[in-house]
Every structure is written in structure tokens, then in C-alpha cells.
């Protein structure tokens, strides 16, 4: 069985679940006016949603090389982790 369809589905599920969790964090931000929850929401989007968009939308649209895609995804992960790190007091 080819691995590509499985990884595509797994990536899409990760992005959808990440978007849902980020939405819940955003709702927490709106309900409590909590900058921490807003930052958590942004961090989750950077870690779970942006890599999917980079890989399946930006890479084909702009013809990015593998190294460029990997760099963009790694940068997204790093920014997401940095933003989440800032939520810790």
C-alpha cells in the first residue's frame, strides 16, 4: 500500500485537530480576555496548521524546493514553540 495517501490524510487530520484546539484556546481568550490563551492559540496554529498549509498549498503554488519547504515548516514550528513558551509564567 502506498504511503503517500496515508501521510496526506494524517497531515490533514493533524491540521484539523490543531485548528479545533486553537479555536478552543481562542474562545478562552475571548471569554476571559486572556493574552495567554491568545498566544497559545497562535502557537498551536503555527505548530499544527501552518505546516500543512505550507506543504500542501504553498509548496505546489510557488514551486518550492524540498529544502525551502522544510525550512518554512521548521521556522513555523520554532515560532509556534517560542510563542507557546511565552505563555508560561
Cell of 86: 511565552
Beta carbons within 10 angstroms of residue 46's beta carbon: 22
Structure pTM?
0.90
The pLDDT profile of the chain, 89 residues, written as one tens digit per residue, is 789 999 999 999 999 999 999 999 999 999 999 999 999 999 999 999 999 999 999 999 999 999 999 999 999 999 999 999 999 97
Cα 60 to Cα 81: distance, rounded to the nearest angstrom? 26
Contact between 84 and 39 (Cβ < 8 Å): yes
Q: Which residue has the cell 503517500?
A: 4
- 41: Cβ contacts below 8 Å, ≥ 6 apart: 22, 23, 25, 26, 29
Amino acid at each position: 500500500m502506498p504511503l503517500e495517501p496515508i501521510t496526506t490524510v494524517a497531515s490533514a487530520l493533524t491540521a484539523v485537530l490543531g485548528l479545533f484546539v486553537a479555536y478552543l484556546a481562542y474562545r478562552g481568550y475571548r471569554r476571559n480576555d486572556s493574552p495567554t490563551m491568545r498566544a497559545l492559540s497562535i502557537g498551536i496554529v503555527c505548530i499544527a496548521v501552518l505546516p500543512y498549509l505550507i506543504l500542501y498549498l504553498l509548496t505546489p503554488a510557488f514551486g518550492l524546493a524540498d529544502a525551502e519547504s522544510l525550512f518554512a515548516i521548521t521556522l513555523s514550528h520554532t515560532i509556534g514553540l517560542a510563542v507557546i513558551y511565552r505563555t508560561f509564567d
